[in-house]
Structure 1
């Protein structure tokens, strides 16, 4: 038996901060989630798998476009010709609505409802397989849904599909031990965009998303091809990223010119990468160089090239005079906990916080640390030379 486990395709991801790129490049970026999805379906046909599992957030937004729906319908029709089934759940981004989709998928596709159910199939090599899951019915699912999953039945192989975060009370919270008590052979997880194997016997797996969507989603993205022989599951990671997000760092010196910096940046760029560059000790740079970077001159210069390597953003990192650091740290420690309150940030604009993209960004574990770092950096920049 063979199957594919993919999650978080996020079709129609808008991508942000790409307005300075050429129209061609902007178009390619916006198509990249589709191109990555193509890899999933092409691999399924090439490997002659029995079925595909799509573990939530197939669409980037619950207001899924007609284009995205038609794309999937056409792909599912093609899979049907090869007798490949699809088992699909909706997650927090594309949560389930009765009769919402205007397009009906072909009969080889099972979309789980908001009720936990188990689907059954017989594979090409005669294995009986049970697949259990549910779709989100609202943006947040705070209930312990795993407690309602049935324990292992008499199937030769049983799979649980779950779009959730460990201990995350907004997204069907669970623990690995709770999953293991069900006795399943494989847990196909979605929601977390980082590839991670939480347990190996049985497998509890996040494949991550199929295409990185922002500068925090670093490295190669893809999905898993699972080959089952004698109840032993063998996983193979299949890359699908069109563009790969990367971070790099340059340490500034007093003699650094724009020419020096552009040469160093060129050396760091690699094919089909989106590079976020940090220039540390930026206080050493000449004021005119800083102004040029702040104006976006360097970004725009690289955006004009036809190279497939992309300079996405430049962050100037300023350090304070060492004599002031100890004094400043005391005031920072005294005030930071009051100023950087996550609940206060959420309450600043309830309407904005209701938007998925804003809410997900604020709820990211690294959000507060990023805000603190940016604040410190702005303070350091303001008091250069003091």
Structure 2
């Protein structure tokens, strides 16, 4: 069989609204909201530059089932560019853009194949000589909630060609994503395909190499839970079906979580200068893109109490954002560092190890809280029981449904610090009075 090259992308989420990012002026907000389209443009140019024979896109081309006309037109424009280069495109739709989505009906060019609501197979050819090289099988979501195992309905390989399965699914039940089209790695291995081109999970990962079972992640991070490089895979297959993957970055805006410890500093200005050094290094390492940062303030020391009220951090955030917005006007936001938020995870200068060993109310409380940190999702845990009254209110329940385990754990840690701070201050004042 002849060698060939294809691109595997997924989760484009075109026209994502980026709701919840605060403090952006009009220019920066426009830059952020255009980022998924910039990633799409880069994807197209990469496919052309790398001379791929075809592209597979494993679902969630659009961000919402109420698909914007702008997103449709930009995607169609990209497809037409690929068609001019003779690059075929094979597409499935996922839970964000199922087949019953609200959209304008458009006629797609003939080099684009969209799989329907039942598993089906088509044959892909090499661009240079139209030699058949691969069988591609896929299925689009008919509605937004596909909860059965559709992978086991994919047909068995029927020829001596390379077999690629397009699947938008949660393999082995990743707890951080909705359990749509659930299946197991074993299901995919037993199917007999050479390459499973997965979508739905936004972090890049290779679950298996024989056969290849691959999530490329999304092409542009949309919030702080989608950190690190985002892009797609170029896949080379030789005449013996040996498969080689290379990852290519497509994002123009990258999310980071960085730590700014305060242990070593005696005043806020000292700590501020160290923070600015961290931000300068991030800007240097990401000179060609915008960096969106959440700063975790960690450690224990006297600076914590100066930051705890929030006023100093608010003022510092405003000033740092002002400087980056001004810089962005002249450099197109390349090399800019925008602080999305500060996350105060530091504490007073408390000897927690001594407290954990202490027979006191504060020691008992600390031991209880540390035990509950491992049970934030336990329905019988203190956290779940404490939230039960809030869940009776529809609006609050909808907000709490969006909270992930990491955020719940942060709440517990902050409650620990606030409570211990108050208790130990009261105790030290009481000891002072008694002496």
TM-score, length-scaled by structure 2 = 0.79
| Superposition deviation, residue 221 in structure 1 | 1.0
Distance, in Å, in 1 between the alignment partners of 2:253 and 2:164 is: 31
Change beyond 3 A, Cα 1:256–1:17: farther
Q: Which residue of 2 aligns with 1:300?
A: 318
| Superposition deviation, residue 347 in structure 1 | 5.5
Change beyond 3 A, Cα 1:99–1:194: closer
Kindly indicate whether the alpha-carbon contact (under 8 Å) linking 2:93 and 2:141 is maintained by their aligned counterparts in 1: yes
Q: Which residue of 1 aligns with 2:192?
A: 183
Distance, in Å, in 2 between the alignment partners of 1:209 and 1:346 is: 34
Distance, in Å, in 2 between the alignment partners of 1:258 and 1:104 is: 60
2:343 to 291, 310, 315: 315
Kindly indicate whether the alpha-carbon contact (under 8 Å) linking 1:119 and 1:130 is maintained by their aligned counterparts in 2: yes
2:214 to 192, 199, 205: 205
Kindly indicate whether the alpha-carbon contact (under 8 Å) linking 1:77 and 1:106 is maintained by their aligned counterparts in 2: yes
Residues 190-199 or 317-326, more deviating: 317-326
Larger radius of gyration: 2
Q: Name the Cα RMSD after superposition.
A: 2.8
Kindly indicate whether the alpha-carbon contact (under 8 Å) linking 2:199 and 2:216 is maintained by their aligned counterparts in 1: yes
Q: Which residue of 1 aligns with 2:52?
A: 49
Distance, in Å, in 1 between the alignment partners of 2:310 and 2:73 is: 45
| Superposition deviation, residue 345 in structure 1 | 9.6
Q: What's the CA shift string for 1:74-119, capped at 9, x where partnerless?
A: 1111111111111111111112217844333222111111111112
- The reply on whether 1:60 has 2:48 as its aligned counterpart is no
Q: Specify every segment of 5 or more residues in structure 2 that has no aligned partner in the other structure, as ranges.
A: 284-289, 329-335, 357-362, 425-435
Distance, in Å, in 2 between the alignment partners of 1:49 and 1:254 is: 52
Q: Which residue of 1 aligns with 2:29?
A: 26
Distance, in Å, in 1 between the alignment partners of 2:339 and 2:109 is: 42
| Superposition deviation, residue 382 in structure 1 | 4.7
Q: What's the CA shift string for 1:290-347, capped at 9, x where partnerless?
A: 3355662121111112251222211111447425554114443479643434996995
Q: Specify every segment of 5 or more residues in structure 1 that has no aligned partner in the other structure, as ranges.
A: none
- The reply on whether 1:291 has 2:309 as its aligned counterpart is yes
Kindly indicate whether the alpha-carbon contact (under 8 Å) linking 1:11 and 1:34 is maintained by their aligned counterparts in 2: yes
SS at 1:38 equivalent: helix
- The reply on whether 1:238 has 2:259 as its aligned counterpart is no
| Superposition deviation, residue 225 in structure 1 | 0.7
TM-score, length-scaled by structure 1 = 0.89
1:136 to 116, 137, 141: 141
Q: What's the CA shift string for 1:168-216, capped at 9, x where partnerless?
A: 3831111112111111111100111111111112211110111111112
Kindly indicate whether the alpha-carbon contact (under 8 Å) linking 1:56 and 1:163 is maintained by their aligned counterparts in 2: yes
Kindly indicate whether the alpha-carbon contact (under 8 Å) linking 1:212 and 1:218 is maintained by their aligned counterparts in 2: yes
Residues 287-296 or 88-97, more deviating: 287-296
